[in-house]
Amino acid sequence: GVRGVVAVDGPAGTGKSTVTRRLATALGARYLDTGAMYRAATLAVLRAGVDPDDAGKVLAVVEATRMLVGTDPLGPTIELADPDPADLERTEDVAAEIRGPEVTLAVSPVSAVPAVRELIVAQQQQIIADVVAAGGRIVAEGRDIGTTVAPAADLKIYLTASAEARAQRRVDQDVRAGRTASVEAVMADVRRRDTYDSTRKTSPLRKAEDAIEVDTTELDIDGVVARLVELAEQAG
Ligand code: C5P
């Protein structure tokens, strides 16, 4: 396997982002949130006034979008940049906006476009390769890290939890971020995205054969982090 790469996949609401950041911090590793990249691409699509289901137009927007991704687990950043590569100064922090309901509603169709995935996966693989080439470690989280982005990762983890537990966690997360949400509405959204993400043709959400499944339903954040750190130590 590729030393230095830990892949963490699973559906929405397993606490994946929180535990993955904490795992990266504990390992002294970098952290890559691949979902944030699909969300930033989706924000660009919405801002361009393009229908998220219009694959051709979606691709054109994503091709013209430049995003900058910061991989510090204590403060990961995601910015949209001016498409002119000479103009590196003009970047916009979109970390908060990409978590809003408009983006969440539109992200699945955008991320299901095969050519969009190709572009974004290539950027993710470059980020990972740069860290590994510099002798570092990186923990990458998403839906297809173990299967597609980093199939040779030396440790693959697949996080699961019951749909009820996942919906409740999303609600807690929204409330902390100052947004109100009902468990029913969030559960419907979690199920909608699960179905969409697991049934799409290109890189559907699924557990890699060699991934270790960790069911987080009965565990708190500390418990999950401890389990993942233990797995990472065993993997070397
Ligand atoms: O992880 P997060 O919930 O922020 O991801 C948002 C959406 O981005 C997912 O529902 C999925 O449609 C897409 N995604 C993906 N592949 C990834 C990460 C996220 O298709 N590796």
Q: How high is the ipTM of this complex?
A: 0.98
Atom from ligand 1 closest to the CA of residue 124: 21
Distance 35 CA to ligand 1 centre (A): 4
Q: Give pLDDT, residue 135.
A: 94
Type of residue numbered 152:
A
User: To test the ligand 1 pocket, which listed residue (32, 38, 149, 156) has its Cβ within 8 A of the most ligand atoms?
Assistant: 38
97 DSSP assignment: G
Q: Please state, for a pLDDT cut of 90, what percent of the chain lies above it.
A: 70
Burial class of residue 90 in the structure, from the number of CB atoms within 10 Å of its CB (0-12 exposed, 13-18 middle, 19+ buried): exposed
Q: Give pLDDT, residue 41.
A: 98
Distance 194 CA to ligand 1 centre (A): 10
- Give me the residues paired with residue 142 across strands: 9
Assigned token pair, 92: 């916009």
- pLDDT tens column, 163-182: 889 888 888 888 888 888 78
Assigned token pair, 68: 């900058």
201 DSSP assignment: S
* 190 touches ligand 1 (CB under 6 Å): no
Atom from ligand 1 closest to the CA of residue 12: 3
* 111 touches ligand 1 (CB under 6 Å): yes
Q: Please state, for a pLDDT cut of 70, what percent of the chain lies above it.
A: 95
